[in-house]
Structures are given as structure tokens and as C-alpha cells.
Amino acid sequence: MNAIPAIEKKDGVWKLLVDGKPIILLAGEVHNSSSSSLSYMEQVWEQGKQLGLNCLLLPITWELLEPDEGRFDFSLVDGLIEQARAHGMKIGFLWFGTWKNAQSTYAPEWVKRDVNRFRRAELEKGKHYITVKKFYNLAYSPLSYLCEETMRADAKAFAALMAEIRRVDSEEHTVLTVQVENETGLMAAARDHSDQADALFYANVPADFADYMRTHTDTMVPEVREAVLNSGEKGNWEEMYGAQAEELFSAYYTARYVNTVAAAGKAEYPLPMSVNCWLNRDGAAAGVYPSGGPISKVREVWNFCAPSIDLYAPDIYLPDFQGICEEYTRRGEPLYIPECPTHSYAASRNLLCVGKYHAMCYSPFGIEDMGQPLNPSQMALFGADASDPALAKSQDVETYSQINHLLGGMMDKLLSRYGTEYLDAASGEFEPEHAFHMDGVELRAKFTQQEGGCLILRERAQEFYILAHHTWLHVLSDQPELPGLDVLAFEEGRFEDGVWQRRRRLNGDEVVANTFTAEAPVLLRVKLFTFA
Ligand code: DGJ
């Protein structure tokens, strides 16, 4: 049997391995309901192929997997795996169990009906069901992160799912990753307010956890570090962590719960497992975004409580895309983006993620609707910023497809430069121009539109592959002692089976004074020579 898909850090570089070979997930997450129907999915696989995707992220829901307690229906799991194979694509499954967007709408009927056995959170003392102002006036009644009975039932269902994936896929490796739950956390309150929750909140913080927090302040966000540095030897959550206590408490019990589910699944089949984050906005209080979910702010809590989780994945619907990429890589972890909008920056962000952040996964959400107008007010229900002007225009499908196909063709080359300075990228969304410096030459990219992007890969000394769109590209020497620069070769083309296939040789009017303008996406091979 081949090695099962795994993530590995080697020589400081994270990679996702399939059959021992690295892969970048040029993925798309489908709408929540698409993968509930195999016939509906037929067209979605086709769309994915046309977009040059190599992987789809697909929900598998508890309600359909275990319609009656202990009776499992694996027809969707098996069918989706077969469809992926028929289309030559991979899958990342998303387990919609206890949580989906901080709610519990995907729990099966037998869980929803038995409110005594499967307890709901108390957002206010004694109230299990409320219409919450802070949650857009929606009716809200999530399952409690403190209910061991629900945790055991969810873990059992998830283990059954992983056992089935092992049964049908341990040879072929179609399923590469599994997301455990979806955007966990509690809305409208920073913590559960049941009697059980109160008892735990006003009991001493577990000593091993308090010790861990004290010894991991280096990586913490400032407000959590400050709370931990000010905490005493022992005390209850409030005494120890003050204003941060409720969110840390929720994170502790949510992470512990999710880890129990993940560990039960890994015991059956240990695929790489991720959790995705509904992000916090600056200045917002826990509960306005899901409290206790796996955001960077409470990462150290999750690291302590959830050793079975391999990847922390931001769903990036907020405008500060680059800042969020920085935040989710600053601890030396791989960038894995399961969700982001299909607005007109989707393609340049793809270049940025692969080229600058050497990402493991980049996956716009609602991939089957790429090119269709977006609905900002509907997206705002789940954490997007409705006033983000980027949401006004959708991604052009042709551009996205061309870029993805070009990236897919050069994947081995890209991966060979991951973790090195020989792969870089910039985008017009964040700067009007960018100068790349390598080997004594400057490759200056000026973006002709904000949607433009440029990725540079160094092949060998003064020889580069450049993938660009909406970019004016100028090459010059940056060495005062060797100020002259000749273009030795300028070609457009693509990689097929790892081999460069030249289309046009570019010269004359196309490379006037060492400049070239790429409007539609193009992959260039550029060979330069500096002299005195
Ligand atoms: C984030 C969720 O994780 C997705 O399942 C989906 O609901 C999107 N929000 C919708 O924008």
C-alpha cells in the first residue's frame, strides 16, 4: 500500500504529499448543498475541470450520513469519490457535524429532537433558543460544546466516515484532506451560560493548560499575551484571564470537543485534518464573530487542546487579504485557504498565495458560481464586509481558468521553489507596482489594473518564468558595475508534462526597450544577460 496523504515539514518547508509526491491544491469549495446530490455534482465537476482545478472541497453532512442513529448511508461519500476519479480530480471533504457557521443545522433529526440528551448552549441563563440581535436577528440554538453525549455521537459518526474513506480510498488516495466541523464557535455570547458552564468557568483553570499558556506567550496576539502575563499562579477563568476569559474558555472546550472528533476519525484513517476559521474583525467582541473558534487569537489554546488538528485555515472574506495571510503564516505554518470570494481579485490572489506565500491550498468558495454577480448582503451574514468594494465585480472565468491551467502545468517547478526566495509574487490589489530583485536584475511589474498579478520563478541565473496578467513588465540591471542588459530570449508558452512548450518567440515590437505588456494571462520564459 502507498503512503496515505500527509503533510510534512522538510527543510523548513511544508508540503502536502500524495503517494509521496507534493501537490498544491488549486481548489474550489462548492456551495453547501451541491454535494448532497450526485447528479447535481456532474456539472460541477465539469466546471471545476474547465477552471483548471485539481481538487474540490465538498461537504459531507452528519444529517445525510447518519439519518438514524447507528445507520449509516455512505452512498454520497462513495459516489463523490468515484466522480472525482472519473474526472481526474482530488477531494477535500468538509465534515458538517455539530457545527456549521457556528450553528448546528446539519445535526441529524434524531439529534435535533432529543434536546435533553443533546443539550443546546445557553446563550442567556436558562434560554436554549433565542432570536439574537447580534446574529442578524436570526433564530439561534446551537448545540453545546460542553455536552459529552453530543461529542461522543459526532465522534462516532466521523469515525464511521473515515473508516469508509479508508475502505474505498486507501489505495487510490482521492481524498487528501478532511476538515473537521465548519467554522466552530458560539455566536451572540462569549461563552455558554448553563449551570455546568458556570461551574467550570468559576472553577480553577486546569493547571496543565495554565502552564502551557505561560510558556507559549511568544507567538500569542498582544491582548492574549498580556492577559496570560498578568495571570496569577492559579484561579478561576475570570481571575486568571480577565477580559479574555470567556473567549479562552469557549476555545478550550470547543477545541477539546473538535479534537475528540478528529482523533476518533484519525484512529480509523489518519488523513491530514483541518479546521476553518470565521475570522474576527478588529475591535469586534467575541460573540459578534464565533467565540472559541480556531482564529489566530486563540491558537495557543487550540494547539494545547487539539493535537489531532494539522491545519488552521482562514476563510478570508475580509478585505485585508494580505494581512490575514501574514497572520496565518507568522507561526511558521502553511497557508491553507479553503474559502475566499469569487470576486475579481480571485485570480491575482491565487498568484499571490502560490507565489508569495507558497500556499498548500487556495480555494474560492461557491466555485460553481464564479463569474456570476455576488450578493454582499447575503455574504455579510457569515462574516464578509458588505461594504468591501471588491465584492462589486466578479472574477472573469476565462482569466481564472487560464491562470490555473498555467499554474497546474508548472506545479512541480513551483513546488521545487517553495520555501526559497526563488519564487515570489505581487498583485495590483495591494501595490501599483513591484520590483523583484534576483541575480543582479530587476524585474519591474507595473499593474495596468488593480486586478493584475505577477509571479516570478527563477529557473537558473538570470533566467526566469514569469506568469503575469494586467502587467507592464520591464527588465533592467540593478548592478552599477554591470549596467547593461540584453534580452537573450523572451518566449510565451506553457508547460506540458513538465516540459516547456514555446508558442511565440517574442521580440521587436513585442519587447520594445526591454518591456512587455501582458493583459491576458501569459507565461513567459525570460533569459537575460548583464554586462558593462
Ligand atoms: C462560510 C461558510 O464556512 C461556508 O460554508 C458558507 O456558508 C460561506 N460562509 C458563505 O459565504
The owner of cell 513546488 is 415
Residue nearest to atom 9 of ligand 1 (CA): 382
Q: Compute the distance from residue 213 Cα to the ligand 1 centre, in Å.
A: 31
Q: Compute the distance from residue 339 Cα to the ligand 1 centre, in Å.
A: 8
Q: Which atom of ligand 1 is nearest to the CA of 32?
A: 5
Residue nearest to atom 5 of ligand 1 (CA): 32
Q: Please state, in angstroms and rounded to a whole number, the distance separating the CA atoms of residues 143 and 147.
A: 8
If one residue of 179, 181, 182 were mutated to test the ligand 1 pocket, choosing by the most ligand atoms within 8 A of its CB, it would be 182
Q: And the C-alpha cell for 426?
A: 505581487
% the chain with pLDDT above 70: 99
Q: Compute the distance from residue 439 Cα to the ligand 1 centre, in Å.
A: 43
Q: What is the mean pLDDT of residues 465-492?
A: 97
Q: Which atom of ligand 1 is nearest to the CA of 384?
A: 11
Q: Which atom of ligand 1 is nearest to the CA of 378?
A: 11
DSSP 121: P
Q: Which atom of ligand 1 is nearest to the CA of 183?
A: 3
**What three-state secondary structure class fits 228?**
helix
Q: Compute the distance from residue 307 Cα to the ligand 1 centre, in Å.
A: 25
% the chain with pLDDT above 90: 92
Q: Please state, in angstroms and rounded to a whole number, the distance separating the CA atoms of residues 486 and 98.
A: 62
Q: Which atom of ligand 1 is nearest to the CA of 379?
A: 11
Residue nearest to atom 2 of ligand 1 (CA): 101
Q: Which atom of ligand 1 is nearest to the CA of 381?
A: 11
CA distances for 185 relative to 144, 288, 437, angstroms: 10, 11, 44
DSSP 459: E
Residue type for 300, please? E
Residue 129 has a pLDDT of 78
Q: What is the mean pLDDT of residues 294-314?
A: 98
pLDDT tens digit sequence for 222-276: 999 999 999 999 999 999 999 999 999 999 999 999 999 999 999 999 999 999 9
Q: Compute the distance from residue 179 Cα to the ligand 1 centre, in Å.
A: 13
* Res. 531: pLDDT tops 90: yes
**What three-state secondary structure class fits 413?**
helix
Contact 490, 446 (CB under 8 A): no
Ligand 1: which residues within 6 Å by Cβ?
32, 101, 182-183, 315, 339, 365, 379, 382
Q: Compute the distance from residue 34 Cα to the ligand 1 centre, in Å.
A: 13
CA distances for 277 relative to 94, 142, 282, 298, angstroms: 13, 17, 15, 11
Q: Please state, in angstroms and rounded to a whole number, the distance separating the CA atoms of residues 148 and 114.
A: 14
* Res. 379: pLDDT tops 90: no
* Res. 469: pLDDT tops 80: yes
Q: What is the mean pLDDT of residues 447-457?
A: 98
Residue nearest to atom 11 of ligand 1 (CA): 379
Residue nearest to atom 8 of ligand 1 (CA): 382
Residue 127 has a pLDDT of 84
> Confidence class of residue 506 from pLDDT cuts 50, 70 and 90?
very high
**What three-state secondary structure class fits 29?**
strand
* Res. 135: pLDDT tops 70: no
Beta-strand runs (E) in 19-141: 21-23, 25-29, 55-61, 90-100, 130-132, 138-140
Q: Please state, in angstroms and rounded to a whole number, the distance separating the CA atoms of residues 307 and 310.
A: 8
pLDDT, mean over the chain: 96
State the angle between helix axes of 148-169 and 245-268 in degrees (0 to 180), rounded to the nearest 10.
Answer: 40
Q: Compute the distance from residue 148 Cα to the ligand 1 centre, in Å.
A: 26
Q: Compute the distance from residue 382 Cα to the ligand 1 centre, in Å.
A: 6
Q: Which atom of ligand 1 is nearest to the CA of 382?
A: 9
Q: Compute the distance from residue 161 Cα to the ligand 1 centre, in Å.
A: 22
CA distances for 160 relative to 70, 254, 265, 359, 432, angstroms: 10, 21, 8, 30, 51
Looking at 38-52, 74-88, 381-395, 487-501, which range is the least confident one?
A: 381-395
* Res. 134: pLDDT tops 70: no
